[in-house]
Amino acid sequence: DAGVTQSPTHLIKTRGQQVTLRCSPKSGHDTVSWYQQALGQGPQFIFQYYEEEERQRGNFPDRFSGHQFPNYSSELNVNALLLGDSALYLCASSLALRGGVTEAFFGQGTRLTVV
Amino acid sequence: AQTVTQSQPEMSVQEAETVTLSCTYDTSESNYYLFWYKQPPSRQMILVIRQEAYKQQNATENRFSVNFQKAAKSFSLKISDSQLGDTAMYFCAFMKIQGAQKLVFGQGTRLTINP
C-alpha cells in the first residue's frame, strides 16, 4: 500500500502565476482534504472533497480551487499566486463513515515557494 | 467555531525521561474526537493517539497516553521513556463527528529529546 502520495515535493513559482498540486489517496479511501501549513504554524483546512464534490471549505479565497476525480485522486489549484501563499500543502485521505470517523492519513506534502 | 491552543511552543527533555505536552480546546459540540499528531522533519503527519469524547477512559498507545478532561476542555499528551526518535513537532487536533471530517489544529509544540 503506497499510502497518500503528493506531487511534486517542491515547487518554486513567481507571483501572479498559477499552480496545480496533486494527491493520490490511500487505497480504499474516498475522501480527500487539503491543508495549508505556513512555516512554524499548524495546518489550516482549505477544503475537502467527497464523491467529486467540495464538501466543506475553510476560510480561503476563491483563488484556491480543487477537483476530485472518479478514482478519488485530487488536485489543488491556486491562481494569482501571492508571496503569502508560500507554505507546505498537505493532503489527507480518509474513508467516509456514517456517524463516525476514520483515521486521516497524510502525504509528505508539497513545499510551495512563491518568489 | 472550534479553536485549539497549545501553550508550549518548545520543550526539551533528556532521553528516557517523561514529558507532558499541553492542549486546550474550545467547542460547543458534545461529541467529537481529539488527536495528537507527530510531524518529524520528513514533514509527514503521523497519528500518535486519538480520544473519543464520549469515552471516559483515557487512551493509551504503548509509551503514549493522554489525560482527557472534558469539563476543563483539556487534552494533554504524556510520553514515557522518551526516545531520540520522538523528536518532532507535535500537534493537537480536534474533529467534529458530524459533517465533514475537518481537523482543527493547534500551533504545535516542538519537542526535542536530548541524548
Tell whether the model's pLDDT for residue B113 goes beyond 70: yes
Residue B22's pLDDT is what?
Answer: 98
Are the C-beta atoms of A81 and A19 separated by less than 8 Å? yes
Provide the pLDDT for residue A95: 85
pLDDT at site B56: 86
Query: Residue A10: CB partners within 8 Å, gap ≥ 6?
Result: A110, A111, A113
Q: What is the mean pLDDT of residues B88-97?
A: 94
> Which residues, other chains included, contact A55 with Cβ-Cβ below 8 Å and sequence gap of 6+?
A31, A47, A48, A49, B100
Annotate A16-38 with DSSP letters as a single string. Answer: T--EEEEEEPPTT--EEEEEEE-
Q: Does B53 touch chain A (CB under 8 A)?
A: no
User: pLDDT digits over A7-16, tens only?
Assistant: 999 999 999 9
Tell me which of B21, B42, B45 to substitute to probe the interface with A (most A C-beta atoms closer than 10 Å).
B45
Predicted confidence (pLDDT) at residue B99 exceeds the cutoff of 80? no
Distance CA B91, CA B43 (A): 12
Longest dimension (CA), chain B: 44
The Cα of A102 is separated from the nearest Cα of chain B by a number of Å equal to 9
Q: What are φ and ψ of residue B113, in 5° steps?
A: -105, 120
pLDDT digits over A4-45, tens only? 999 999 999 999 999 999 999 999 899 999 999 999 999 999
Residue with cell 493520490: A24
pLDDT of residue A102: 76
**Longest CA span, chain A:** 44
Question: How much is the pLDDT for A99?
Answer: 62
- CB A48, CB A66: distance < 8 Å: no
Residue from A36, A53, A42 nearest A96 by CA: A53
Percent of chain B clearing pLDDT 90 (strictly above): 83
* Least Cα separation, residue B16 to chain A (angstroms): 27
- Residue B107: closest CA among chain A residues belongs to which residue? A42
pLDDT for residue A83: 97
Which residues in chain B are contacts of A90 at CB distance < 8 A?
Answer: 45
Task: Annotate A77-109 with DSSP letters as a single string.
Answer: EE-S--GGG-EEEEEEEE--BTTB--PPEE---
Please, which pLDDT band fits residue A100 given cuts at 50, 70 and 90?
low
pLDDT at residue B101 above 90?
A: no
Chain A residue set in contact with B, beta carbons under 8 Å: 31, 33, 35, 40-45, 48, 50, 55-56, 58, 88, 90, 92, 94, 96, 99-104, 106-109, 111
Least confident of A5-9, B18-22, B28-32, B66-70: B28-32
User: Chain B 27-46, CB below 8 Å of chain A: which residues?
Assistant: 33, 42-46
